Structure 1
Amino acid sequence: MKKIEFNDIAPHLIVTDVVASAEFYKDSLGFDFNRFWGEPPNFVILFRGSVQLMLSQDSIKAPQPLQNDRFDVYIWLNQGIDQLFDEYKQKEIEIIEPLETTFFQMQQFLIKDNNGYILCFGQEV
Structure 2
Amino acid sequence: MAKIPALCSLVPNMMVHSVETSVQFYQKTLGFEQVMTVPESAPYDWAMLKQGEVTLMLQKVDSFSEEVPKFKDQEPSASLTLYMITDSVDTLYAHLQKTKVKILKEPHKTFYRMKEIAIEDPDGYTLVFAEACEDEN
Q: CA deviation at 1:35?
A: 3.0
Q: Aligned pairs, how many?
A: 121
2: CA distance, partners of 1:66 / 1:34: 24
Does 2:83 match 1:50? Answer: no
3-state SS, counterpart of residue 90 of structure 1: coil
How far 1:2 sits from its partner (Å)? 6.1
Report the equivalent of 1:72.
Answer: 81
> How far apart, in 2, do the equivalents of 1:92 and 1:108 lie?
19
* Percent of aligned pairs sharing the same letter: 26
3-state SS in 1 of match to 2:10? coil
Residues 35 and 66 (structure 1 numbering): CA distance in 2 closer, same or farther, change over 3 Å?
Answer: closer
- Secondary structure of 1:33's aligned partner: strand
List 4+ stretches of structure 1 deviating above 4 A: none
1:91 aligns with 2:99: yes
1:100 aligned residue? 108
Q: Report the TM-score when normalising by structure 2.
A: 0.78
Q: Which one is further off, 27-36 or 103-112?
A: 27-36
Partner residue, 1:7:
8
Q: Distance in 1 between matches of 2:89 and 2:95?
A: 10
RMSD of Structure 2 on Structure 1 (CA):
2.0
For residues 57 and 93 of structure 2, the distance between their equivalents in structure 1, rounded to whole angstroms, comes to: 23
Residue identity opposite 2:57 in structure 1: M
Bigger radius of gyration among the two: 2
Unaligned runs of 5+ in 2: 66-71
TM-score, normalised on structure 1?
0.85
Take 1:115 and 1:100, find their aligned partners in 2: how far apart are those partners?
24
Q: Secondary structure at the match of 2:84?
A: strand
